[in-house]
Amino acid sequence: QSALTQPRSVSGSPGQSVTVSCTGSGSDVGGYNYVSWHQQHPGKAPKLIIYDVSKRPSGVPDRFSGSRSGNTASLTISGLQAEDEADYYCCSYAGSYTMVFGGGTKLTVL
């Protein structure tokens, strides 16, 4: 069970859109509709922002969206705001009731 692959960092200016990728395999990301994304600010617990590839929990702004193509899932943040600066982690079901996280991506708002 290998960690999902995410870019170490991405950046964007306020108002722009950024996309964070999460690459796995057919045994996890590509095999199930169970990819989630979590936002983590420094010193804080992670917060769920996307689940089941593209669903948003109540209270999460629609600036956050998720998608998947093959074995790669993506998180897109549009209308970037300063408060979006955080670490982002993808997570996928990996079969046999196991789960796997990505390595995390640091988003910098320029």
* Binding region for another protein (CB under 8 A): 1, 3, 32, 34, 36, 38, 45-48, 51-52, 57, 89, 91, 93, 96-104
Task: Confirm if 49 and 60 have CB atoms less than 8 A apart.
Answer: yes
Radius of gyration of the CA atoms of the chain, in A = 13
Q: What's the CA gap between 91 and 3, in Å, rounded?
A: 9
5/76 with CB nearer another protein:
5
Q: In angstroms, what is the minimal distance from the CB of 80 to another protein? A: 23
Q: Say how many CA atoms lie within 13 Å of 22 toward its Cβ.
A: 31
Q: In angstroms, what is the minimal distance from the CB of 107 to another protein? A: 15
17/61 with CB nearer another protein:
61
